[in-house]
Structure 1
Amino acid sequence: MTNTTADNRQTPAPTSGRVPDMTLIAVAAPPATNRFLVPAAAAVTVVLWASAFIGIRAAGHDFSPGPLALGRMFVGALALTVIAGLAGKIRLPRGRTLAGVIVWGVLWFGLYNLALNTAERTLDAGTASLLVGLAPILIAVFAGISLGEGFPARLLAGIGIAFAGVAGIALATSSGASDTVSVALGLAAAVIYAGSTILQKRLLPKVDSLTMTWLGCVVGAVACLPFAPVLLHELAAAPTSATLSVVYLGVFPTAIAFITWGFALTRTTAGRLGAATYAAAPLAVLMSWAVLGEIPTLFALIGGTLCLTGVLVATLRLR
Structure 2
Amino acid sequence: MNTPSPVKLTLVTASVILCWAYSPIGVHMGLHSYSPGQLALLRFLIASVFMGGVAWVMGIGRPRLRDLLWLLVLGFFGVFLHHSSLNYGQQFVTAAASSVLAQSAPLFSVLIAFFALKERVSAWRWGCVLLGLLGVLVVIWGDQGVGDIDPRGLLILLAAVSWSVYFALQKHYAHRYSPLTMTCYMVWAGTLMLLVNLPGLSAAVMQAPLPENLAVLVLGIFPSALAYLAWGYVLKHVEVSRAAVAMYVIPPVAMVMAATLLGEHIALQVVMGAMIVLASVAAISLEGRWGRSPRCTTG
Q: Please, what TM-score do these two structures have when normalized by structure 2?
A: 0.81
Q: Could you tell me which residue of structure 1 aligns to residue 69 of structure 2?
A: 99
Instruction: Sort the Cα spacing of 1:169 and 1:118 in 2 relative to 1 into closer, same or farther, 3 A.
Output: closer
Provide the aligned C-alpha RMSD in A: 3.3
Q: 1:37 to 1:136 in 2, by over 3 A?
A: farther
Q: Which runs of 5+ in 1 are unaligned?
A: 1-6, 8-26
Task: Report deviation, 1:159.
Answer: 8.6
CA distance in 2, matches of 1:85, 1:143: 38
- Deviation string for 1:259-290 (max 9, x for gaps)? 11101111223343334312222222222111
1:201 aligns to what? 171
| Secondary structure in 2 matching 1:290 | helix
Q: Distance in 2 between matches of 1:289 and 1:167?
A: 22
Q: Does 1:75 align with 2:64?
A: no
Report if aligned partners of 1:70, 1:225 keep a CA contact under 8 Å in 2: yes
Match of 1:49 among 6, 17, 20: 20
Judged with a 3 Å threshold, the aligned counterparts in structure 2 of structure 1 residues 57 and 213 are, in CA distance, closer, same or farther, namely: same
Aligned residue-pair number: 286
Aligned to 2:87: 117
CA distance, structure 1, for counterparts of residue 273 and residue 93 of structure 2: 19
Cα-to-partner distance string for 1:267-318 (whole Å, 9 max, x where unaligned): 2233433343122222222221111111113444455566777788757x99
Q: Secondary structure at the match of 2:198?
A: helix
Can you give the 5+ residue segments of structure 2 that lack an aligned partner in the other structure?
Answer: 291-299
**What amino acid maps onto 1:121 in structure 2?**
Q
In the alignment, the residues of structure 1 paired with residue 134 and residue 150 of structure 2 have an alpha-carbon distance, to the nearest angstrom, of 23
- What amino acid is aligned across from residue 8 of structure 2 in structure 1? L
2:152 to 174, 178, 181: 181
Counterpart in the other structure of 2:294? none
The residue identity in structure 2 corresponding to 1:218 is W
Identity %: 28
Q: Which residue of 2 aligns with 1:11?
A: none
Q: Could you tell me how far apart the structure 2 residues matched to 1:289 and 1:311 are? A: 24
Relative to structure 1, the CA distance from residue 311 to residue 115 in structure 2 (aligned partners, 3 Å threshold; closer, same or farther) is closer
| In 2: Cα distance, 1:164 partner to 1:267 partner | 33
Counterpart amino acid of residue 107 in structure 2: I
Partner of 1:223: 193
* Paired amino acid for 2:175: P
